[in-house]
Amino acid sequence: MESAKFKEALFCICRPKRCCCCIPFRIGLYILSSILLFLGIWSSLVLFSDDVIAYNHIPKGVRIVMGIVYLLLIPVAIFGYCISRSSEKYQILFQRFSKIFWVAVLIIVLLTLIQLIHSFIRRKDLIQICEDDYNNGINNIFYIMTNNTDGFLVSETCQHAVDFSLALILFDFIVLKFCLWIYFGIIVELHSKLSSKKDDPDSNDRESIKSD
């Protein structure tokens, strides 16, 4: 009896009640699902569009496939909304969401890594695109960065603009996509595992027999 109470108290201590800092777990899960939903919709629209010049160096077929894969984040986000509003009785949903969430994290990290590698390989082509767009007056992201530059400095400034853009993608991959998403994945999985142990009567019976 004392052992069971001790395990329950330990569960309450170990199970994460915060998503990060002072944000409660369920609110954090709601925010996380909102980010997933926005990321899925926005990334898909950008990749399907031919008007976003910053992604035109990626073959259209590859962009379409990446956009379709990003669409898979939308049902994951909707599932996350349902989980954040469910009661503690439906802990099995947390376990399923944890597995699905790891698939979503893998998709995000993998697609960002592909984009990052492809952009670094095509760095010289991006610089050339920047110069051509500047000369043609096309308002892409690199043109905006070089808009107030004299003509003879366009080449050098385009290099800085492309390098800055690649640095942002690298920062986004390492800090936001890799560290942050994996951290959230660990929190969700830890919550689901500890919840399943508490709610599994067979597991509790086995533990009681061992303690006796």
Higher pLDDT, 94 or 104: 104
For the chain, the first-to-last Cα distance in angstroms comes to 9
198 lies in some domain = yes
10 lies in some domain = no
How far, CA to CA in Å, does 80 sit from each of 1, 32, 74, 112, 178?
36, 8, 10, 22, 19
* pLDDT at residue 40 greater than cutoff 80: yes
Name the residue range of residue 178's domain: 25-204
**Measuring CA to CA, which residue among 67, 71, 23 is closest to residue 184?**
23
156 lies in some domain = yes
- pTM, two decimals, is 0.60
Percent of the chain with pLDDT over 90: 0
Higher pLDDT, 50 or 198: 50
pLDDT classification of 26: cutoffs 50, 70, 90: confident
Q: What does the pLDDT read at residue 137?
A: 63
62 lies in some domain = yes
Number of structural domains (the chain) is 1
117 lies in some domain = yes
Q: What does the pLDDT read at residue 10?
A: 38
Q: What does the pLDDT read at residue 147?
A: 53
| Secondary structure of residue 182 in the 3-state scheme | helix
pLDDT classification of 8: cutoffs 50, 70, 90: very low
* pLDDT at residue 112 greater than cutoff 70: yes
pLDDT classification of 11: cutoffs 50, 70, 90: very low
Higher pLDDT, 157 or 191: 157
Percent of the chain with pLDDT over 70: 60
15 lies in some domain = no
* pLDDT at residue 12 greater than cutoff 70: no
Query: How remote is the C-alpha of 51 from its chain's centroid?
Result: 24
Stretch 14-42: mean pLDDT:
74
pLDDT classification of 187: cutoffs 50, 70, 90: confident
76 lies in some domain = yes
Question: pLDDT tens across 164-177, in order?
Answer: 878 887 887 787 77
7 lies in some domain = no
Q: What does the pLDDT read at residue 81?
A: 79
Exposed, middle or buried, 167 (CB in 10 Å: 0-12/13-18/19+)?
exposed
Stretch 8-18: mean pLDDT:
48
The 10 Å Cβ neighbour count of residue 45 is: 12
